[in-house]
Each structure stands twice: as structure tokens, then as C-alpha cells.
Structure 1
Amino acid sequence: MICSSPDDFAKHLHKKRTIYAGIDPTAKSLHAGHLIPLLCLFHFRIRGHNTLALIGGATGLVGDPSGRMMERSLSEKAQIQSNTTKLTESIQQFFSRATEYALDKVPSLTTSAQLQVVNNLDWLKELNLLDFLRSTGIHFRVNHMLARDSVKMRMSANNGITFTEFTYQLLQGYDFYELFRTKGCTIQVGGSDQWGNIISGIDLINKAEGDSAGHNEKGFALTTPLLTTSQGEKFGKSAGNAVWLDEKLTSYLDFYQFFLRTTDADVEKYLKMFTLLPVEEINAVVREHEVQPERRLAQKLLAEEVTQMIHRKEGLEAARVATNVLFGTDYSTLHAKDIVKSLANDPRLVLCTEDQLLGITLPNVAANFGLTTSKSAARQLALGNGLYLNSVPQPDVHFKLERSHLINGQVAILRAGKDKHLILALR
């Protein structure tokens, strides 16, 4: 993490402060990348500070050029409004569940500090353009705006940058100023790609509220690392690889598996970023993990802690069951109702009738539901011991499914080869 004026920032936190983080409503759900700044806010909250989550209902209509080589497609107003409503609910849910998770770890924790979700459309839509340019625009120097990394990168691209996107930093800077003026907010938290936008807000606050030279720091920037792929690309909607916090968009299983797949190089960092576990406990687990990395103890702890925080204990249990179904070999402890629940919204779960399942040969069932490309391919797979029923290979191409073959008489788990699954459940 990086902060502006570190020494002054440390002294500033000796008193109760108000901190905010902004989220543009370009999608209808939070994703894993949002967790880092939101958890940073949550850390401030459980230490007694007031926190604000700002939904960029207005700036979302403009589009942030940060970290992008091409212009964003402008979002429709109706979509932004819908996303704003859903994100407001998602943020409130996140803080509620994070509080439950934190109290489960530390029952004596203080969580009474204020959390408020605000929308910058509430003030930006009221601005008169001429008044805004006269009162706010005079504090911004174009040469400084051009020096921002986000702008320089776009200026070097073939398509350059539009005036609309160029003004984004001015609008976000005004957000900080408005929250400073009306809420007493003095700290903005954001991803590392937001440094320039946050500094714009601090500059505006200092010039509008400071001495004539714009000195006497009144605002602070705190940036967090970005969640990126091994190639350094951001996770998110634009990149098409978002891991959503909404279980209807990313299942409990896929959410859990995302963190379970964390590399050894990243797992210690992620445990410290995404959980509220004591550093001593994390260090002990990492040391144990390093002795036997093939057991993936650190990754399992990370996946369990984050899944419980976001999806509660019920979501974690569903993820565990689904993991056993798809990656385990012992189904003796599984129950049909838990299997169906754990794989809700997963395309590998198919509800079917008795006529579609019972009394039909296993290869035909596999082909009928798309596990294999054809019935002949399914038969060849079975003859080669590659067609599995409930984790047991079934080489008999004439084998017919009966209710007694199903888990609790309700569910059949079919597998083609090593990792292609189909879970069939009677309605």
C-alpha cells in the first residue's frame, strides 16, 4: 500500500476520521478486485473510523481512462441507474457479512462506526457547467492533467483520449472535495491505478480550502494493490475474467476454486490482503505450507476464509460439497439435496425426469445430455474405462441406470475422462 505524506498521514489517524472508496457502476455486481479497497475500508471501520462507499453514478457515465489503452463504450443511463441500485445493496451486504465474519473471529470487535453509501450523481447532476468551470476548473492546470499516467498512456495510443475522458480526473477530484466539504472526509482509498485521480482531489481540496499557495495538506491518498492475473492483467468485467461476489454470476464452487488455485508465490500476500486472520497465524500456516506445498494448506485456508466471509458458512459448505463432487473420489458422505444445492446455477447440473434417466444405457444418457459428442463416442469411452458413474468406471456399454444406482435415489454423477462432469438430478 502507498499513501501520500506518510508521516502526516500517521499523525492524522490519531483521531477518528472519515474515509471513502469509490466504485464505478459499470457492472451490476462487485467482483473480487473490489474486495481489496473495500476490506481496507472495513479495517478502518473496525478501528473506529467512519467509512463511505461512493457509487459513481455520474462519473460512470463519463468513463475512467485509467489503465486503459482504448476508450470505454459509454454506458446507458438506465443501465447505470440499475447497476447503482444493485451495487448499493451489494456493498451493504458485503459490510454486513464481513462484520459477521469478523465477529466470528474476534467476538469483542468494535463495529459500531458509521458506514454510508453515497452516489455522486446526487451532487454532480446539480452543477451548473459555467459555475463549475469558474469555481472548480480554475484550480486545475492542463499541464498537470496531461502529466497523469492515465492520460499520457492514452495520448500515446493511436486513438488518443477524448475530452470526456480527459475530464474524468476533474470530476473524481470534485467528488473528494464534496465529501471533504459535506462529510469531513479526509482520506480516499483506491486501487493503485487511481493515484492520479485521488491526487487531483487532494490538490483541489488544498487549493480551495488551504492557504493561498495551496499548501497545508487537508486530504490524503491511500492506494491498494490491484488484483491481477499472472500476466499482470486486471481482473474485472472489461477483461472478461471477473470473479463476481454474486453467487448467481460466479457460483460458490467457482469462487472457492479461484482462491484455491492461488499460486504459492501469491498465497501469503493474499492471506494478508483478503482475510482478517492474525499475521502470526498466517505466518505459521505459510511455514507449514512450505514444508509440504503439495498439500496446499495455505490455499485451502485462503479459499475457506474468503468464501465464508463473502458467502457465509452455508456458501462455504456448498463449495466444499461441489468440490468433492467434481474433484473428489469418495462420495459415501454426499447427500443428494446437498449436491443439488451446492451446484445451483452451475451448468453441469441438469434436472431431468425419470423417463430421461432410468432404464437407459449409460452411454446413451451421456450422449443425450451432451457429456459426449455422440452415442458411439460414449460407447468407445466406456470400453476404454473412461466413462464413470459416481466415480466408478463403467465399461459395460449395455449398463442401464436404475434408481438404486443413484445417490439417495436422486442423483447420478457422470464423468468423461479426467475432468468433464455431468450431474443429473431427478426433478
Structure 2
Amino acid sequence: MARISRLESLTQALSYICSQCVRTSLAKRPQQLRTLHASSRRRQAPNGVLAVLEERGYINQIAGDRNALDRLLQTRKVGFYAGIDPTAPSLHLGHLLPLMVLFWLYHHGHNVVSLVGGATARVGDPSGRLTSRAKTAELVHETNFTAMYAQLGSVWDNAIRYGQRHGYEAGATGNSELLNNASWLDKLSILDFLKMMGHGVRLGAMLGRDTVRNKMEKGDGMSFSEFTYPLLQGWDWWHMYQNNGVQVQIGGSDQYGNIIAGMDAVKYIAQNSAEVPQQSPWLDAAGRLKDDHMPMGLTVPLLTTASGEKFGKSAGNAVWLDRNMTSAFDLYGFLLRSSDEDVERYLKLFTFIPTTAIASVMAEHAADPGKRRAQHLLASEVLELVHGREEATKTRAEHQALRNPNLALLGQPGKSSPESDGSSTRPGPDRAIVPSSLVLNTPFSRILYHAGIVPSKSEGARMIAKGGVYVATAATSITAPEDDSKSDLHFVQLRDQKPEEVRQYIMNGMLVLRVGKWKVRFVEVVEDANFDAQKLKAPGWSEWKAQRSSG
């Protein structure tokens, strides 16, 4: 990866992205992209977009008057924002929930801001945590910010195209902006901060919030920087309230306290700061905020499975939206394994498919659950939103090719999809090429290492011992475990298979391994000479050749 520039140099170039050019170019796309569900979209929101969001399960809590927000949304364009701190180089699947709310609002004509916390990430949000975040080097912050900012821009481009395919015309949308809070927080002096906001902040209220109380009583204490995080977030809101018309904040379920603090901050500054002109459009003649300009907020629910398991970055099983961290194939596979209890809810949360169409899909799914129609639809739609339609189509074809090990993917070695040209597959996040000498008559624990699936042979042995590794088989004499009866491939758990048994799992030059519940890896086994001729590399290959030469 090329060396990135200093964060300060990005604040002007990356302070916002206007979607006008994208919308203009999309308006020229073929009409067929806009045919699906256009009439259904219009029928779905007779009572306004808030009713749509509630029906689909996006609303956890509303901070403010729900009916007032509903009336406002049906009266004029309203500004919304959702913020994400770049504490990692990629968004994860959980981040899609607040973003989906922005997408829905945008396609219903409202103005939205996606805010990347280039400044607040250096402080660290303590919400929902008992331990402080580890300190991160400035270069890591810059790298994370640059990657996530670009990724958000790409996801927004896909969301606009995806919305058009579902009938949302470009001319009927609102405005979307992508902002970096470092562009104003880096210029904010502490004296101005205290002068405009400090007098309106009461310590009693702040100390009484759950995040503060829990961290001080049950955790490792709270630093001053963590204590001021909600105030910085409130300043973000005030900046966008006056400059971008942002009236409503969207956050996760753990952000309700921060949203309340932000509402108080915006109201206090708007009504009390000498820096605010008395003729401001949001103030009445007495200098008080008008009812229809009151800041409000809403939170989305915590993303969980039907069994109550949380998945997101902090839960230890992150599903990343960067294809170099979670490949498109793995993302599709993860969603494909959604339980029948979860898939309808996920279709409502992660797609633009109308609820009437979702009900029809679920009826078809109930008639033949083994075909997993609903799960394939979910996976395909989410991949289109995250990686684009072309990648979604290709990945769906790869997964459908695995419905039978004799189909194109495994029937023709070297092909990564039924449409590929037959040349040898290039290594990638979901596939590896390994010379035959590192596979044949080799323990599976070492094969995992040579394929780059685990960092060491001992780690491979540990994962197998814990029962976390499976191998695909087409052999009818080997019985697949009951819990895999719905999988496209039949997997058997690796336990005490002998090295000489490896051959029986190689299907037309390919081993298919599964790590955990959903990460599938393809291991193409090629002749040693062919491997070297392509100048490929595999962990342990140089050492193996050196040992053979010395012997």
C-alpha cells in the first residue's frame, strides 16, 4: 500500500463528497436498472418514511417527540447524520444498520450526512465499554481514516445504483455528503469550546449517565478525554446543524446517552451563544428554538442472531466490508448461513426489497427450505450494496456452482467461476494454490499452514483439535454431519484423518476447506514444477525445497 499523506492534508480534499455527479451519470444508465419494485416502493410509504423504517425494524428508540418527527418528515426535507469513528481500516456488517437508515431517508428525498470521525477516533468513544481503548499510533489512525473514508464513498455509490434498480429515481432523492470532523475540530480552540458549550454542561447529568457510572464503578475508571467525548460529538452536531441543516442524529443502541447530550448541547448553543445571530432561521422572536427545528435522534437496534449472539467488531467475529479482510465469497457465505429465524429480519434490514415481496420470498422459502432461496437473495442483495452488482453476480454464481461438487467450479481445475477462462486461479483471500508435495501424504494441520489459512502448523493442529475445521467431500461413503444438512457442499469435520487419506478429499485438483461456520477456502493442488513456473509462493515451500536439497 502506498504511503499515505498526513491527515491534515486530507481535511480540505476529503471534507465532503457531493453525489450530484454520481446522480447525473446514473441518470444516463439503461432503463432496466430502474424496473424492479418501482410501483411497490410508492405503495410502501403511504404514511411516510418513518413508518417504513418502523415497519422494517430500524427504530430502537426515538429521542424527542415521535409524532413531531413524523410530521416534520412529511412537511419538508430534514437533515440527518450518522457518524463512524475509524477505529479499524474497514466498516463491518453492523455499520450497515445506521447507513441503511441514511440510504432510505436519502431515497425518500431527505438530506443526509455520513460523518467519519477523523478527530474523535483519536479520543475514543467509551460508550458500552468497561475498559479504555488501547492507544493507537497516529499513522494507524491516518491509515484507518483514509481506508474507511474511501470505503464509505464506494458504498454510497453502490447504494445510489442499488436504489435506482429498486425504482428510486435520481431526481427524487435528497442530498448526501461525506464529511470528516477533523476539518472543524482540528481548528477548534479549547477556549472557544468552553465558552460556547461549557457553561451549558451540568456535571450531575453527565455523571449520572450509564456509560460514565458503569465505567467508574465496574470498569477501569474514566479519563477526562473519554468524559468529554459526548461533548465533542455534540459539537459535531452543532457544526452540522448550522452549516448543513442536520437536525436528527442516528446512532447505535449504545449511543442514546450521547444523542441526548448532543441534543442538549445544540439547544444550549443555539439559544445562548453570543456567536449565534438572533435572526437565525431556527430561532423565534424571543430567541428560543422553534418547535420544528428542535434537534432529535433515533437509535437502531443491536444486530443479533435469533439466539441472541451479537456480531460486530467488538464481539470477536467481525464480518468486514473490505473484501481484503472478508472476501466477497466469505461475506456471501456468512449471509447464506443465516438461520431461517433470522433471514426475514435481515432482508428487511439490509435490502430495499419491499416487505410484500419479502413475504412472498419467505412463503417460497417455507415450501422448500433446503434450497435457501431467501438466504441466497439476502446474500446477493447485500453484496450488490457493498461491492456492486457485478461482484454480487459473480459471487452468487460461484456459490451456486458449489451446489454439487461435480459442477463447473470443481469439475474444471483452475476455474474460479463457471465463466472463467480456464487459466490457473490466482491466490486470494478465499483461495490458495499449493504445490502437491505440500499436500499429498501431509497432515491436514500442515495443509492449513501451507495454504495460508493459519499462521503456524501448531495453530492448525489446535483448530482441528477444537473441531473447527471441515473438509468438503463428494464421496457417498462419507456421512456429512447433521448440522450441515442445509449446506451446498457436504462437509466432514477433520479429526484424526491420516495423511494418506488426503487424496480422497481432492476433487479434480481441488481441496475445499471450511474454517468455523462460514469461511470457505479453496486449495488448488498443482504439480511442483507448474507451481514454480508460475513463480508462486506458499508458506513453508522454500524450507521444504531446502530440506529436500540438503537431504
TM-score by length of 1: 0.82
State the alpha-carbon separation in 2 of the partners of residues 196 and 392 from structure 1.
57
State the alpha-carbon separation in 2 of the partners of residues 321 and 248 from structure 1.
20
Is there any run of 5+ residues in structure 1 with no aligned partner, and where? 374-385
Q: Are positions 1:238 and 2:314 aligned together?
A: yes
Please say if residues 252 and 342 of structure 1, whose CA atoms lie closer than 8 Å, have aligned partners that are also in contact: no
Structure 2 residue aligned with 1:10: 70
The Cα of 1:108 is off from its aligned counterpart by: 4.0
1:25 to 77, 83, 86: 86
Is there any run of 5+ residues in structure 2 with no aligned partner, and where? 1-58, 272-285, 418-423, 451-456, 458-469, 479-496, 527-533, 535-551
State the alpha-carbon separation in 2 of the partners of residues 400 and 268 from structure 1.
39
State the alpha-carbon separation in 1 of the partners of residues 471 and 217 from structure 2.
55
Q: Secondary structure at the match of 1:369?
A: helix
Q: Secondary structure at the match of 2:408?
A: coil
The Cα of 1:330 is off from its aligned counterpart by: 3.3
Structure 1 65/285 Cα, relative in aligned 2: closer, same or farther at 3 Å?
A: same
Compare 293-302 and 253-262 and name the one that shifted more. 293-302
The letter for the 1-side match of 2:70 is A
Question: Could you report, residue by residue, the CA deviation over 1:274-297 in whole angstroms, capped at 9, with x for unpaired residues?
Answer: 000011011222234345444433
Structure 2 residue aligned with 1:52: 113
Query: How do 1:174-185 residues align onto structure 2 when only pairs under 5 Å count?
Result: 174-185=235-246
The Cα of 1:9 is off from its aligned counterpart by: 0.7
Query: How do 1:270-419 residues align onto structure 2 when only pairs under 5 Å count?
Result: 270-323=346-399, 328-334=403-409, 335=412, 336-339=414-417, 344-346=428-430, 349-352=431-434, 356=437, 362-363=440-441, 369-370=447-448, 407=508, 411-413=509-511
Please say if residues 83 and 114 of structure 2, whose CA atoms lie closer than 8 Å, have aligned partners that are also in contact: yes
Structure 1 residue aligned with 2:227: 166
Q: Secondary structure at the match of 2:315?
A: coil
Work out the number of aligned pairs and report it.
Answer: 403
Structure 1 215/113 Cα, relative in aligned 2: closer, same or farther at 3 Å?
A: closer
Q: Are positions 1:154 and 2:237 aligned together?
A: no
The letter for the 2-side match of 1:330 is P
Question: Could you report, residue by residue, the CA deviation over 1:321-361 in whole angstroms, capped at 9, with x for unpaired residues?
Answer: 55457x64332333533257697312xx33245x748xx9x
State the alpha-carbon separation in 2 of the partners of residues 212 and 264 from structure 1.
55
Q: Are positions 1:116 and 2:177 aligned together?
A: yes
The letter for the 1-side match of 2:524 is L
State the alpha-carbon separation in 2 of the partners of residues 51 and 330 from structure 1.
46
State the alpha-carbon separation in 1 of the partners of residues 201 and 178 from structure 2.
28
State the alpha-carbon separation in 1 of the partners of residues 240 and 522 from structure 2.
52
State the alpha-carbon separation in 2 of the partners of residues 292 and 260 from structure 1.
15
State the alpha-carbon separation in 1 of the partners of residues 235 and 173 from structure 2.
29
Structure 2 residue aligned with 1:90: 151
State the alpha-carbon separation in 1 of the partners of residues 525 and 325 from structure 2.
22
Please say if residues 305 and 342 of structure 2, whose CA atoms lie closer than 8 Å, have aligned partners that are also in contact: no
State the alpha-carbon separation in 2 of the partners of residues 400 and 161 from structure 1.
54
Structure 1 305/391 Cα, relative in aligned 2: closer, same or farther at 3 Å?
A: farther
Structure 2 residue aligned with 1:379: none
Please say if residues 118 and 182 of structure 2, whose CA atoms lie closer than 8 Å, have aligned partners that are also in contact: yes
Q: Secondary structure at the match of 2:113?
A: strand
State the alpha-carbon separation in 2 of the partners of residues 400 and 74 from structure 1.
45
State the alpha-carbon separation in 2 of the partners of residues 239 and 367 from structure 1.
27
The Cα of 1:310 is off from its aligned counterpart by: 1.5
Question: Could you report, residue by residue, the CA deviation over 1:203-252 in whole angstroms, capped at 9, with x for unpaired residues?
Answer: 11112224678784521102111223566564333332110111110012
Structure 2 residue aligned with 1:257: 333
RMSD over aligned CA atoms reads 3.7
Structure 1 57/153 Cα, relative in aligned 2: closer, same or farther at 3 Å?
A: same
TM-score by length of 2: 0.65
1:424 to 524, 532, 537: 524
The Cα of 1:75 is off from its aligned counterpart by: 2.5
